[in-house]
Amino acid sequence: MAREIPRTTTGSDWGKADFAAIYDRPDPRAYFSVLQPLDYQVPHHGQAVFRMLTDALRRLPPDTSRSTSPQVLDLCCSYGVNAALLNHRLDLGDLYAHYTGLPGEDRLTAHQLADEDKAFYAEQRRPDAVRVVGLDAAPRAVGYARAVGLLDDGFAEDLETGAPTPALRDAVGGTDLITVTGGVGYIGAPTFDRLLDCMSAPPWVAAFVLRTVSYAPVAAVLERAGLVTEQVPGRTFRQRRFADGGEREGVFTALAGRGLDTEGLEEDGFYHADLYLSRPAADVAAVPLERLLPV
């Protein structure tokens, strides 16, 4: 399969490479074939963190507002990558191999690939899988993730500009954990505000946020809902390599504008993300962050 070269944009997003062409295809093959050479890896980091958090939610004292099995809402879910890693005996390398390295895979139609993927993921399903609802503005990506069983429910809605549909409101009402790996910047405070308004109790929120983006507006929304936001100290998480020199230069300029140093971080040629976790104050007091996430 020929790889598409990402087009570098100019504007308020610091010249970030534009991958819009791969985010809403009928299937994920272009997504993985374009991102693999850039060593896109943040879902790998999310896999470990989100599993620790869902395990911790299961251990919380009984609460009438929580189900015995956590429900996850994955924002900017695309083709269900985070759900695939959370709920299946697979890692990110397995997904790259599955979508880019199988003989004859290019000859399958999207419908044929979906049929194969449905069986593939069912075979790898973990017995402790949790319910995952996905939200993304890309309807074909969400549809694929639902069709192959990665998402229990999925919605292609843009909450930055409009209110959630009644179906989405119903689906996310019992959410225990909101996850996002790199989508903050494309989505922000309006999306979180509208989602929290749908929920019966404030959920935990785990967000990997590129250092080029301020998380303060989202944290302010979460605080108004009764959530305390903490940043995991002492480390960052690689997202992917810079697509080209222009993108690298734009990132360095954006970080300088935020007063952030790149030494030992973006100087390695990768985007770096911070990890933020927001929880109700009682949960923060009961289990300190360093014990909850020994990362």
Q: What is the pTM of this model?
A: 0.94
Pairing assessment for the beta strands 17-18 and 7-8 based on DSSP bridges: antiparallel
What average pLDDT does range 187-205 have in this prediction? 97
Model confidence at 107, in pLDDT bands (50, 70, 90)? confident
Backbone angles phi, psi at 3, to 5 degrees: -85, 140
CA 106 to chain CA centroid, Å, is 27
In 10 A of CB 185, how many CB atoms? Answer: 16
User: Which single residue is written with the structure tokens 């993304």?
Assistant: 136
Helix intervals (H) in the chain: 20-23, 29-35, 42-59, 81-87, 92-100, 110-123, 139-147, 166-172, 189-196, 216-224, 245-257, 281-286, 289-292
Asked if 4 and 36 touch (Cβ cutoff 8 Å), the reply is: no
Amino acid at 292: L
227 token code pair: 């959530």
Burial 6-32 (b: 16+ CB within 10 A, else e): beebeeeebbbbebeebbbbebbbbbb
CA distances in angstroms from 186 to 105, 189, 209, 222, 281, listed in the order given: 32, 10, 11, 18, 28
Per-residue pLDDT at 191 exceeds 80:
yes
Of 225, 226, 161, nearest to 190 by C-alpha is 161
Angle, vertex CA 119, rays to CA 113 and CA 121, nearest 5: 95
Q: Taking each helix axis from N to C terminus, what angle separates 110-123 and 139-147, rounded to the nearest 10 degrees?
A: 50
Model confidence at 92, in pLDDT bands (50, 70, 90)? very high
Of 45, 40, 39, 107, nearest to 232 by C-alpha is 45
Per-residue pLDDT at 295 exceeds 80:
no
pLDDT in tens, 18-48: 899 999 999 999 999 999 999 999 999 999 9
